Amino acid sequence: MRAMVKKAKGLSGRVKVPGDKSISHRALLLGAIAEGRTRIRNFLPAADCLATLVCVRALGIEVERLSETELIVQGQGLHGLMEPKHILDCTGSGTTMRLLAGILAGQPFYSVLTGNEQLRRRPMDRIVEPLRRMGATVLGRDDGRLPPLTILGGNLHGIEYRLPVASAQVKSAILLAGLYADGPTVIHEPGPARDHTERMLAVMAKGQILNFKLQTSNFRVQGSKLSSLDIVVPGDISSAAYFIAAACLVPGSEVVIEGVGVNPTRTGFLDALREMGADIVVENQQEVSGEPAAEVVVRARGGHGVPPLRGIEVSGDLVPRMIDEFPILAVVASQARGTTVVGDAAELRIKETDRIANTAAELRKLGACIEERPDGFVVEGPTRLVGTQVNSHGDHRLAMSLAIAGLVAEGETTIEGAECIADSFPGFEKILRVLSSK
From 162, 221, 222, 158, select the one nearest 189 (Cα to Cα): 162
**pLDDT one digit per residue (tens) for the chain, 438 residues:** 888 999 998 999 999 999 999 999 999 999 999 999 999 999 999 999 999 999 999 999 999 999 999 999 999 999 999 999 999 999 999 999 999 999 999 999 999 999 999 999 999 999 999 999 999 999 999 999 999 999 999 999 999 999 998 899 999 999 999 999 999 999 998 888 899 999 999 889 875 534 455 555 677 788 778 999 999 999 999 999 999 999 999 999 999 999 999 999 999 999 999 999 999 999 999 998 889 999 999 999 765 454 579 999 999 999 999 999 999 999 999 999 999 999 999 999 988 889 999 999 999 999 999 999 999 999 999 999 999 999 999 999 999 999 999 999 999 999 999 999 988 898 999 999 889 875
What's residue 208's pLDDT?
Answer: 58
- What DSSP string runs through 271-330? HHHHHHT-EEEEEEEEEETTEEEEEEEEE--SSSSS---B--EE-GGGTGGGTT-HHHHH
Return d(Cα 100, Cα 48) in angstroms, integer. 13
C-alpha separations of 39 from 48, 50, 275, 382 in Å: 19, 16, 39, 47
From 5, 1, 3, 2, select the one nearest 411 (Cα to Cα): 5
What's residue 192's pLDDT?
Answer: 83
Return d(Cα 13, Cα 8) in angstroms, integer. 14
Q: Which domains does the chain have, with CATH numbers?
A: 2-19+234-436 (3.65.10.10), 21-232 (3.65.10.10)
Q: How many CA atoms does the CB half-sphere of 30 hold within 13 Å? A: 31
Coil, helix or strand at residue 379: strand
What is the DSSP code (8-state) at residue 346? G
Q: Which amino acid is at 39?
A: R
Catalytic sites, residue numbers: 324
- Note whether 343 and 318 are within 8 A (CB): no
Instruction: Provide the residue count of the chain.
Output: 438
CA 92 to chain centre: 13
What's residue 25's pLDDT?
Answer: 98
Coil, helix or strand at residue 381: strand
What's residue 288's pLDDT?
Answer: 84
What's residue 302's pLDDT?
Answer: 61
Neighbours of 133 (CB within 10 A): 14
From 5, 424, 28, select the one nearest 240 (Cα to Cα): 424
Strand partners, 64: 72
Coil, helix or strand at residue 35: strand
CA 58 to chain centre: 24
- What DSSP string runs through 163-232? -SS--HHHHHHHHHHHTTSBS-EEEE-SS----HHHHHHHHHTTT-TTTEEE-SSEEEE-----B--EEE
Q: Which amino acid is at 3?
A: A
- What DSSP string runs through 113-167? EE--TTGGGS--HHHHHHHHHTT-EEEEHHHHTEEEEEEE----B--EEE-SS--
What's residue 385's pLDDT?
Answer: 97
CA quadruple 73, 79, 85, 89: dihedral sign = positive
Return d(Cα 304, Cα 159) in angstroms, integer. 58
Q: Mention every residue, 6+ apart, whose C-beta is less than 8 A from residue 134.
A: 105, 156, 157, 158, 159, 174, 177, 178, 181, 185
- Note whether 172 and 102 are within 8 A (CB): yes
- Note whether 180 and 135 are within 8 A (CB): no
What's the whole-model pTM score?
Answer: 0.92
Helix (H) or strand (E) holding 30: helix 21-33
- Note whether 413 and 388 are within 8 A (CB): yes
What's residue 209's pLDDT?
Answer: 37
